[in-house]
Structure 1
Amino acid sequence: MMVPVRCFTCGSVVGEHWEAFTSRVEEGEDPAEVLDDLGVTRHCCRRMLVSHTDLVDVVAPYQ
């Protein structure tokens, strides 16, 4: 997966939360509550995790 390591806006590390975030959201938890539990409080960092789309499988055939 090619999740961004740092927030594009503030530079805070967000990549370390990706696996926990995706696994808990897939289990049915509310994304806002998961981000609160993980300690991601800034709006820019929350945006990085919520809006990320994994495009590696889409782009890989064209390399």
Structure 2
Amino acid sequence: MADDRSKRDFRDRDRVSADEDYEVEYFASKAGITPQQVRELIAKHGNNRDKLEREAQALRGRA
């Protein structure tokens, strides 16, 4: 089920949903990595935004 963007409830702001393309694409552009890399990070480390930001930064550092 898609998120209803008209209901602004910020309970899940600390998560990135791999099922929502717009969330993956936004995180990818913000982090400077590809959407596929975002999905791989979510699969490996979970969907906690803070953890994903650290892992994306480390991934950029290795490239």
Q: What's the TM-score, normalizing by structure 1? A: 0.32
Q: Which structure has the larger Rg over C-alpha atoms?
A: 1
Higher relative contact order by CA 8 Å / sep ≥ 6: 1 or 2?
Answer: 1
So what's the TM-score if we normalise by structure 2?
0.32
